[in-house]
Amino acid sequence: MPPLLPAISSAAKRPSSLSALAGSARTLATRPMRKMAVFGAGITGVTTARALKARGFDVTVFDQHRYAAMETSFANGGQLSASNAEVWNSWGTVLKGIKWMFQRDAPLLMNPLPDRHDFLHKYTWMGEFMAQIPNYKSNTIDTVKLAIAARELLIEHANTYNFDFNREDRGILHFYSDPKEYAHAEKVTELYKEAGLEREKVSSSEIGTIEPALAGGDYLGGYFTPSDFTGDIHRYKSPEGLSHTHTDTQQCPPHRPYYVCALSPHSLQCHSL
């Protein structure tokens, strides 16, 4: 057979092969996935895993720490608060950030120098942050609505699965000594009201009634959100264990251990890979 004919013959067979491949792809696309991996055993990861298990999925949770909820969920101090849902995308935040760069006791500090590992990442993030400033109002309203829904979901799960996470329904109080911050809080409260969150304006004397440790302080006033509450993230647990434990050490970077976390009736147990 001349050299060109095998190529022509092979090409002639290709459509049937591509058709078979497309058929296999369609089969895979329509076949439901029953196994899910969730990375991060904080409140978001655990809640996601519980929701997936309730829908019949086989779920494995991975975390880089020996215990669950050791980063963002832990650092948040156990607050389940919609009253802190105001977004940071504003020129006021940008100006504060610049001012704080020159303060040793700044509450938040960002190094403006580029990251040596990823030169553009930090500046790209800054650009995206400032690009959302015009959407401050709508983003704040949407974030408050999401926070309210998240609180309700947490309460629903606690009732459905009958677990105690040391819930304290004492509300959250914000108090102010600076006239500018106090005036801003009033505007934020209007946005919260539009999103469905009630926040009460309180006087200086009422601040002391709500929190006796603050009685007699020199405050202009404050805002109290009675529906906010606190809890212990480490007691946020599920009544069902994961159906399997993953132990393939080859999946883990050698320089950074990961843990498989299993939801059990009384805790979230993490095991090293």
Looking at per-residue pLDDT, the higher value among 16 and 122 belongs to 122
**Tokens coding 134:** 């015009």
Query: Is 38 a member of any domain?
Result: yes
Confidence label for 14 from pLDDT (cuts 50, 70 and 90): very low
Would you say 237 and 252 are in contact if contact means Cβ atoms under 8 Å apart?
no
The CA–CA distances, whole Å, from 190 to 22, 115, 138, 151, 199 equal 55, 39, 12, 20, 9
**What contacts 69, CB < 8 A, 6 or more positions away?**
41, 42, 43, 46, 233, 234, 236, 268
Sheet holding 200-202, edge to edge: 172-176, 221-225, 200-202
Which residues face 271 on adjacent strands?
260
Q: Is residue 208 part of a domain?
A: no
Average pLDDT over residues 11-23: 49
Total structural domains in the chain?
1
Asked whether residue 270 carries a pLDDT value surpassing 60, the answer given is no
Per the structure block, which two tokens stand in for 250?
Answer: 């080859």
Q: Is position 46 within any domain?
A: yes
Q: Which residue has the higher pLDDT, 159 or 239?
A: 159
Does position 178 have pLDDT exceeding 70, yes or no? yes
Give the amino acid at 233.
I
pLDDT digits (tens, 9 = 90+) for 97-114: 999 999 888 888 888 888
pTM (predicted TM-score) = 0.72
The per-residue b/e assignment along 209-237, b for 16 or more CB within 10 angstroms, e otherwise, is: ebbeeeeeeebbbbbbbebbbbbebbbbb
Q: What letter does residue 257 receive in the DSSP assignment?
A: -
| Boundaries of domain holding 37 | 29-78+232-273
In a domain, 48, yes or no: yes
Q: Please give the average per-residue pLDDT across 41-48, as a whole number.
A: 86
Specify the amino acid at residue 154.
L
Distance, in Å, from the CA atom of 51 to the CA atom of 157, rounded to the nearest integer, reads 10
Q: Quick check: is 183 in a domain? A: no
Helix (H) or strand (E) holding 58: strand 58-63
Residue 101 in domain: no
In a domain, 253, yes or no: yes
What does each C-alpha distance from 209 to 137, 214, 216 come to in angstroms?
Answer: 32, 8, 10
Tens-digit pLDDT profile for residues 112-144: 888 777 778 888 999 999 999 999 999 999 999
Mean pLDDT of the chain: 79
Cβ proximity of 79 and 172 under 8 Å: yes
What b-and-e string marks burial along 113-133, b requiring 16 or more CB atoms within 10 Å of the CB? eeeeeeeeeeeeeeeeeeeeb
Is residue 59 included in any domain, yes or no? yes
